[in-house]
């Protein structure tokens, strides 16, 4: 605590360590002399062995897909795959295409961040689970069973500060792993004995720092109004999240990682990296290093690698100009081709009495419904694998009493993962037809 510094009133303070900041909330009833600083931690987590566990992969595109080339004209199993879904047609029996599902939110690019949570961060106050995303809700149940409860991949470049698809219960953004080289090292590169010793010492120090910070924060409570006590409770939830991460990180610090089945890849840029990232996700699931992975395709997507000399975001605002639409669809087709390749890879890996895809739910889509109009309705979505009944195109009504929120699909996925809860975000039940 630093009670006599006069410059504290208008500032935010953080617990700092291991590369992530945990902010002390702004407490209106505290005077400047009561505010202080500390240190905070974040870390990766851990995992144990289970027979044929269910897994989940979610792939999100920040700019949506051109609807006339994505949604089929005919519902049911006999649909003709439009241009963007042609690469996936070879896996027709393993996928379901959806239309009419969304979260009912507005906000364009900012509402995209609710893709996996169903709730915008600014609207999360008062929600029982905040704006926790489905991947992190599943990760809570995995605990220490795997080295990494979840892996979030993406870029920090581009629109509105990089990837913001994954959120913890306390409303903290999950920072993405940037590039296949970094992911490879996390999965397969062991620390030396000296590095392990330093890691253990660092974790012990960070744990004691959290103990001290908790004590300081709790000592503030007698000075706070009721509203600020609620804020502090949210802060304690964040601290507990960090403490859990520390425990899991300590547990796995000395456990050898799997032997690398490939050479360490280079980072060549997101477009070139996508197939390598997909391969590494499959390996992470196959080795049970994690059971949950996400990939967000947003900033850092170099269209020029695909021979497109206009910027991806600009093309999403095509203004109905055919030349721009053609270039946009080219970028989107590449993404569906790589997704189809990933599904093929997952189907080729044996996993118990089936394939890795049979035991993995794979969600592919976007929180943007129409990039040109900045709307977040009627989201483009494909669900593959996971033992669901697939093989059709399901079009749900966008309005009326039969409307199905996207969170209903998420609740069905949570139940398939083994998370028994009655609601997720604004769900009204599980999704019918699966």
pLDDT for residue 251: 66
Q: Are residues 25 and 70 in the same domain?
A: no
- 236 or 390: which leads in pLDDT: 390
Q: Are residues 11 and 54 in the same domain?
A: no
Q: Are residues 155 and 125 in the same domain?
A: yes
Q: Are residues 161 and 306 in the same domain?
A: yes
Q: Are residues 185 and 209 in the same domain?
A: no
Q: Are residues 23 and 66 in the same domain?
A: no
- 390 or 31: which leads in pLDDT: 390
pLDDT tier for residue 250 given thresholds of 50, 70 and 90: low
pLDDT tens digits, 284-337: 999 999 999 999 998 788 999 999 999 999 999 999 999 999 999 999 999 999
Q: Are residues 15 and 58 in the same domain?
A: no
CA distance 134 to 410: 7
pLDDT at 204 over 90: no
pLDDT for residue 46: 34
Q: Are residues 202 and 179 in the same domain?
A: no
End residue of a domain, out of 239, 256, 273: 256
Q: Is residue 342 part of a domain?
A: yes
Establish how many alpha carbons lie within 13 A of residue 381's alpha carbon, considering only the half-sphere containing its beta carbon: 26
| Measured distance between the N- and C-terminal CA atoms of the chain, rounded to whole angstroms | 55
Q: Are residues 349 and 300 in the same domain?
A: yes
Counting every residue, how long is the chain?
A: 434
Tell me what the pLDDT averaged over the chain comes to. 83
Domain enclosing residue 208, as ranges:
1-40+192-256
CA distance 242 to 114: 23
> At 355, is the secondary structure helix, strand, or coil?
strand
Q: What pTM does this model have? A: 0.79
Q: Are residues 243 and 362 in the same domain?
A: no
Residue 289 in contact with residue 258, Cβ under 8 Å?
A: yes
- Phi, psi of 158, rounded to the nearest 5 degrees: 90, -155
Based on C-alpha coordinates, what's the Rg of the chain?
A: 22
Residue 140 in contact with residue 150, Cβ under 8 Å?
A: no
**What total of structural domains would you count in the chain?**
2
pLDDT for residue 39: 28
Q: Is residue 425 part of a domain?
A: no
Q: Which of 384, 430, 422, 388 lies closest to 405, judged by CA? A: 430
Q: Which of 405, 391, 22 lies closest to 240, judged by CA? A: 22
CATH number at residue 180: 3.40.720
Q: Is residue 428 part of a domain?
A: no
Q: Is residue 111 part of a domain?
A: yes
Please give the helix or strand (H or E) that residue 15 lies within, else none: strand 13-17
Burial 108-125 (b: 16+ CB within 10 A, else e): ebbbbbbbbbbbbbeebe
Q: Are residues 185 and 249 in the same domain?
A: no
Q: Is residue 183 part of a domain?
A: yes
CA distance 98 to 396: 8
Scanning the structure block, which residue is given the tokens 């202080």? 36
pLDDT for residue 196: 62
Q: Is residue 429 part of a domain?
A: no
pLDDT tens digits, 9-20: 333 444 444 443
């Amino acid at each position: 605590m630093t009670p006599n510094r006069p410059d504290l009133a208008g500032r935010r303070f953080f617990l700092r360590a291991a590369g992530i900041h945990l902010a002390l909330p702004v407490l209106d009833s505290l005077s400047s002399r009561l505010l202080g600083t500390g240190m905070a931690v974040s870390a990766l987590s851990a995992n144990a062995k289970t027979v044929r566990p269910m897994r989940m992969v979610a792939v999100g595109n920040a700019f949506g897909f051109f609807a006339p080339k994505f949604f089929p004209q005919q519902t049911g199993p006999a649909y003709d795959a439009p241009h963007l879904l042609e690469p996936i047609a070879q896996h027709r029996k393993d996928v379901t295409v959806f239309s009419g599902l969304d979260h009912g939110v507005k906000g364009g690019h900012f509402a995209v961040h609710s893709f996996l949570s169903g709730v915008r961060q600014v609207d999360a106050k008062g929600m029982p689970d905040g704006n926790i995303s489905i991947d992190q809700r599943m990760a809570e149940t995995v605990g220490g069973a795997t080295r990494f409860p979840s892996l979030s991949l993406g870029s920090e470049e581009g629109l509105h500060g990089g990837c913001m698809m994954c959120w913890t219960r306390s409303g903290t953004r999950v920072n993405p792993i940037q590039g296949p080289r970094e992911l490879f090292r996390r999965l397969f590169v062991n620390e030396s004995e000296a590095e392990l010793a330093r890691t253990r010492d660092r974790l012990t120090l960070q744990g004691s720092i959290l103990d001290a910070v908790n004590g300081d924060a709790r000592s503030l409570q007698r000075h706070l109004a009721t509203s600020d006590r609620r804020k502090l409770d949210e802060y304690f939830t964040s601290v507990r999240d960090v403490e859990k991460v520390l425990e899991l990180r300590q547990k796995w610090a000395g456990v050898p990682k799997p032997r690398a089945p490939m050479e360490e890849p280079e980072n060549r840029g997101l477009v070139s990296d996508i197939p390598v990232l997909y391969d590494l996700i499959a390996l992470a699931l196959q080795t049970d290093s994690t059971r949950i992975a996400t990939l967000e395709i947003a900033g850092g997507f170099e269209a020029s690698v695909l021979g497109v000399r206009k910027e991806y975001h600009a093309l999403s605002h095509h203004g109905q100009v055919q030349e721009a639409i053609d270039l946009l669809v080219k970028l989107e087709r590449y993404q569906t081709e790589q997704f189809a390749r990933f599904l093929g890879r997952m189907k080729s890996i044996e996993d118990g009495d089936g394939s890795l895809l049979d035991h993995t739910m794979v969600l592919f889509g976007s929180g943007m419904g129409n990039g040109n109009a900045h709307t977040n309705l009627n989201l483009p979505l494909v669900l593959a694998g996971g033992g669901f009944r697939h093989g059709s195109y399901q079009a749900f009504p966008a309005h009326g009493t039969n409307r199905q929120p996207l969170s209903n699909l998420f609740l069905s996925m949570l139940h398939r993962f083994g998370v028994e809860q009655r609601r997720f975000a604004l769900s009204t039940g599980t999704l019918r037809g699966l």
